[in-house]
Each structure stands twice: as C-alpha cells, then as structure tokens.
Chains A and B, each alone.
Chain A
Amino acid sequence: MADKIKGKGVISGIAVGTILLAGQNLDGYLVNYKPGKLDAEKKKAADALVTVADSMKKSIDDFNEKGLKEQAAILEAHRMIIEDPALSGAIDEKLDECGSAPKAVLDAAEANAQIFEAMEDEVFRGRAVDIRDVGKRIAKYLLGIKEPEIVGKVIVAGKEIEPSVIAGLPTDKIAGVILGAGSTTAHAVIIAKTRAIPTVVGVGDGIDQMANGDPAILDGGTGEILIRPSDKERAGYDEKIKKQEELKAFYATLKTLPAKTLDGAEVELVANIGSPKDADAAIKDFGATGVGLFRSEFVFMGKTDIPQEEDQFKEYKAAVEKCATVTHGEGLCVIRTMDIGGDKPLPYIQVGEEENPFLGYRAIRISLKREDLFLPQLKAILRAGKFGKAAIMFPMVINVQEFLDAKAMVEKAKRELASEGKDYSDDVQVGIMVETPAAAVMAPILAKYVDFFSIGTNDLVQYTLAVDRGNAQISYLYNHFNPAVLRLIKRTIESANKEGKWAGMCGEMASDPNAAILLLAMGIKELSMSAPSIPRVKEKIRKITSSKAQEILDKVMEMEDGDKIRDYLAALVV
C-alpha cells in the first residue's frame, strides 16, 4: 500500500514519476553525523572532493553530448571550485576547529562565499551562490545523502522550491511538482503553470514522507499523492490518464478557433511567458494570439551579471518575431520591465534584507533609480519592436509621476538609439500593470496618459485584501471574486475604455473561465494566462452571449460575499 498524502491541486493532470527532493535542509543530518578521528575526517573530506569532482565530470560530458552547453558550463565552474586548492585548505582549517568533515566543508564554503559577497563588483558577488551550492553538494555526499540521478520523469518535491530548480531541469523530465507551502502563486508554481505541469501545493510536512527516488503518482486535480503505489493502485489511474489524453485531443481542436462569444464579441487570449521558448509553445500548441506578459526578470535570472542590451534584444526579438507569426488576432508582445524585489533577489541587484519585500524596493522603483539597468532594457525592447508588435509595460506603478518618469526614460532610450544609429520602432505602446489599489483607484486619471492597462490580479488581490498569498493559514481569504477586488477591476477596465485605451488582465484570475464571463461583460479586450489554460477559457467564451454575460455580471455586482460569488459562478450552467 502506498503512503497517501493530500494537498491542494492547483494545476490539473496526472503525473507519474520518481520523487526528486529540492531544497533539502541539512541541519538534521549534521546533528546525527558521528565524526571519526581528525585524520580520518581529513582524509574523508579530501576523498569526497575527488569523488564529487569525478562524478561531475561525467555529468559535464553528458550535458555536452546532449548540447546542453549552459548546464555544462555551470557544472564546469562548480567543478573548478571543488578542485580549488583554496577550498581544500579552508576545509582543513575548519576541520581543526570543528572535527566534522561535512560541517567543515559547509563552513569553508560559507567563509569563501562571504568573501565574494563582500566584494564591490556585482559579478563577483554573484559567485557566492555557486560556492555555497558546491559546499552543499560535497556535504551531502559526506552525509550519505545521494544526489538523485534523473532517470525517466521526476516529480519535484520540496517545502519550498526555488524557481531556478524547476527552470534548471529539462521540461520533458518534470512530470509533476509538489510544494509544501500553501501558495498557488509561488514562483515555482507559476513556472509549472506555463509548462502545464500537474502540481499539488500545501502538503506541509507530507514532504517528510518522501525520499529521493520514491515512485509516486500525483493528481493535480484532486490534490492526491500516492508515494510508492502498488501495481493495483497504479492501474487505478489508467482510466484518468486516458481521459486526460481525450481532453487534450478536444482542446487541440479549439486551437485555431477564435475566442468569440455566440454573438460575435471577441477577446484576445494570449500567453504569459518567461522566455521566447514559451511563446513558441503557447502559439503552436495552445493557440495563443500573442503574449500579454513577458516576465522579463526571467531573462535577468540565472545570470551572474546584468544582461546587456544586446543579449536582451535577442531574447525580446525572438518573442516579438514569434508573436508576429500568429494567423489570427493582434500578435502583440507585451514585455514587462523587470519586476524584481526582495522575493526574487539577484546577485547584481542587492535589495538587502527588508521587513516587507512586497511593500519594498522593487520593480519600477528600482528601475527608476537604476538607469544602468533600465535604459538597456528599454532600448532592447524598442529595437525588438522593429520585428513585429511590441509593447512596454511597467510594473507596480502607484501614481502618475512614476509613469511619466518611466515614459521619459523611454524617450531617452529612443534618443540614444537614434544617436547610435540603431534601428528601433517608434510606435511601441507604453502601458502599466494595474496591480496596486492606488493604480486601480487612480485608473480614470492614469488612463489619460497610458496606452493600455493590464490588471495584475495576483498582487492586486493581495494588496487590496491585505492577504499574503504565500501564507497557508489565511489563504482562504485570498479570492479574486472578493467584491472589493471586482469593483477595482471594473473601474480599471471602464476607465480605459472611456479614454479609448484598452484593458487586459495578466494575473491568475485571467485563467479562470468563470472570471472570464465577468471580465467580458466589464469590457476587457485581452486575457493573458499560462498557455495551457487558454483552451479552457476559450471553451467558456465560445458558449456564452454578451447579454447573458452582462446579466451574470449585474447579478454578481449585487452580491456581497466573495465566496458566494465563486460558488454562484461555479454552479452556473451556461
């Protein structure tokens, strides 16, 4: 019999694979570790360095053979750190102090990492992460924690999972994701969503029942997880897997059809993406008619240095060109300028410890202070605009002045490009994300200045309701149908339309088919979501009329309770 664990299913689908634990805490292992004599520990540490470096050589060759150059380069840098005489020297010193090989390795790595972290140059600072990573890898080996080999498909599990863990694994290797934390909007989940990876969150300590390499089945619809299932239990899922395939086939037939209501009102269904590759899949596999949110920070992440204008230009150009290939719809590519802050720290953007990163120094607030980051990004987008239709979107705006300052930077970017003799597009739309209550309240004024609004519901809901989206204890309060939220959204959309601008939505809510009915009636022009959700939303829109949607909206706006609104919409047979 399998161990059964129940969580909250957030991305539906059945996944079969082996468990790969991410973000392990080594403290428990370290306490239980019984060190031998000092000489023996020293030899053990030295041997571990050799063994781990050797095993990495194999992986490096492997990656190189498969053409995965970036992964190979990262590992190669790690291998050099392991073989470094400075590291082995530091380990010996630390061993004299503490006597435990794994602890000495971690301490030595930490000491070296801190040297790098203290450096002025941002690029050097970034290496600290690598050094810590290497220390952990060797310590794990010494503690007898096996680095799981990826054979076949894996289900990545962890109390918290760093976005880079999922981003770093080849897409076709990840069958599912299990997250201990309760958040449905954690960045790991957001990445999983773009790739339609079945995901269960909020399993809490359930993670402790899993070991690396355990076979497992996960149902992203019901939130059920089976660890070490019997053959019989596995067979029980065959029917569900078959249904899943059938649904996929039906959705495929919707791909080339427009998102039009029965009476002909059309909404653009576009994709949220993190890289040009995602745009490719979104358009080809799910029928997206453009990109409503290119999260440019993923272009910044995984890099040790500020990405240069030229590098960014290549990424944006690829996405813009991809969007220009759509046969139906606008083919617009909306690129959001970097939205980085305390929750997604980067080696070259030191935000520092903040009490409230979500209310802190982040996004447009950083961009406006850091011309060295902002200007190259704007120039890269303006240049990419030459290859199709691009739009620039600023995140976290709370007042008119921020928009005007950012817009002035766009003009400066244009002047610089002109004087450098580089080609750029002069009709790139410039708009904002409406994700703060301030922006939504000021929407009638902001609408006079911007070209468009895109409502970012993840933050708008959390700021409006004062509910931390990652806190499992209060996640029941997080509801995009809350009447306060609905009123802000309605106000934003109507303000845009009144000024002859357009409003879209790029938050979680846009992928909720029931929400689509309301938004349609409010006058939304574009819904941007993780691509795999497009067919579901399209199916809903194609089954309804504008007048029916208006009727439902009128009724909902009279209701006083968010949970009741959600239940009412869920029970509707349209």
Chain B
Amino acid sequence: MTEATTTIENKTGIHARPASLFVQTASKFKSKVQIKAKGKTVDAKSILMIMSMGLVKGTEVTLAADGPDEADAVKTLKELIDNKFGEE
C-alpha cells in the first residue's frame, strides 16, 4: 500500500472535466486505487463516486493504491492534482 496526501488547488475542484481526467488516469493502473477525503473512502476509478464527494478547491485528499503499480499510480495521480489538472 502506497499513500500520499495533498490538497486540491485548481479553481473548479474535481468535477466534470477534471473528474473524467482523474478517473481515466486512475483506470490506467492495475492497482486498486482509492481516494480518501472528508472521512469517506471511495474507488478512484468511479467517476460517480468521486464526483459525489464534492471535492472543491481546498479539500485535503489522500490517495491510496494497492497492487503491482501502486507507487507509480499514487505519484501520477498526485501530480495530476498538484498540476491543477492542467488548468491555468
């Protein structure tokens, strides 16, 4: 199990386009990937669950992956969030 914690900084939070991007990226990995925030833990490969968490700007999230490519998965997803999903 690999974990990393970060804060969502992009203006619009994780919804719509960022959520699609996030799920698409998570789905590329074989490992089981989860996202934890606001006391809930959900499947990072589920766009419905991620969006239902309402991850707005300023939310602290923890990424957790378990599987053969777990380190890579956490690193890639954390970068995606830290780079504000390519938004300005």
Contact = CB atoms under 8 A, between A and B. Distances in A.
A77 B20 contact: yes
B45 to A, nearest CB: 7
Interface string A120-148: 11011001000100000000000000000
B48 A84 contact: yes
Nearest to A121: B54
Contacts of A541: none
A346 B20 CA distance: 22
A80 interface: yes
B20 A76 contact: yes
A80 B45 CA distance: 10
Contact of A80 (B12, B15, B20): B20
B37 interface: no
B54 A80 contact: no
Interface centre among B20, B43, B51, B56 (most CB of A within 10 A): B51
B7 interface: no
Q: Is the interface of A mostly helix, strand, loop or mixed?
A: helix
A86 B48 CA distance: 6
Contact of A85 (B12, B43, B51, B52): B43
Contacts of A305: 12, 16
A127 B16 contact: yes
A305 B18 CA distance: 14
Contacts of A81: 47-48
A313 to B, nearest CB: 17
Interface stretch (A111-119, A377-385, A442-450): A111-119
A124 B46 contact: no
Interface string B36-71: 000000010111110110101000000000000000
A131 B48 contact: yes
B56 to A, nearest CB: 7
A123 B24 CA distance: 20
Nearest to B27: A83
A120 B54 contact: yes
A84 B16 contact: no
Contact of B47 (A80, A115, A123, A304): A80
Contacts of B43: 85-86
Nearest to A76: B20
A494 B77 CA distance: 66
B23 interface: yes
B50 to A, nearest CB: 9
Contacts of B47: 80-81, 84
Interface residues on B, range: 10 to 19
Nearest to B56: A121
Contacts of B48: 81, 84, 86-87, 112, 131
A120 B56 CA distance: 11
A85 B49 CA distance: 9
B5 to A, nearest CB: 23
Interface centre among B16, B24, B48 (most CB of A within 10 A): B48
Contacts of A119: 52, 54
A122 to B, nearest CB: 10
A115 B52 contact: yes
A386 B17 CA distance: 32
Contacts of A304: 16
Contacts of B51: 116, 124, 127
Contacts of A87: 48
A352 B17 CA distance: 27
A121 B46 CA distance: 19
A86 B52 CA distance: 11
A124 B54 contact: yes
Interface string A68-84: 00000000110011001
A131 B47 CA distance: 11
Contacts of A127: 15-16, 51
20 contacts: A77-B16, A80-B20, A80-B24, A80-B47, A81-B47, A81-B48, A84-B47, A84-B49, A85-B43, A87-B48, A121-B56, A123-B16, A124-B15, A124-B51, A127-B15, A127-B16, A127-B51, A131-B48, A305-B12, A305-B16
Interface of A: 76-77, 80-81, 84-87, 112, 115-116, 119-121, 123-124, 127, 131, 304-305
Interface of B: 12-13, 15-16, 20, 23-24, 43, 45-49, 51-52, 54, 56
Given A84-B49, A112-B52, 9 more contacts: A84-B48, A85-B43, A86-B52, A116-B52, A119-B54, A120-B54, A121-B15, A123-B15, A127-B51
Going nearest first, the 9 A-B pairs with the smallest beta carbon separation are: A86-B48, A86-B46, A86-B49, A84-B48, A80-B47, A84-B46, A85-B46, A123-B15, A115-B52
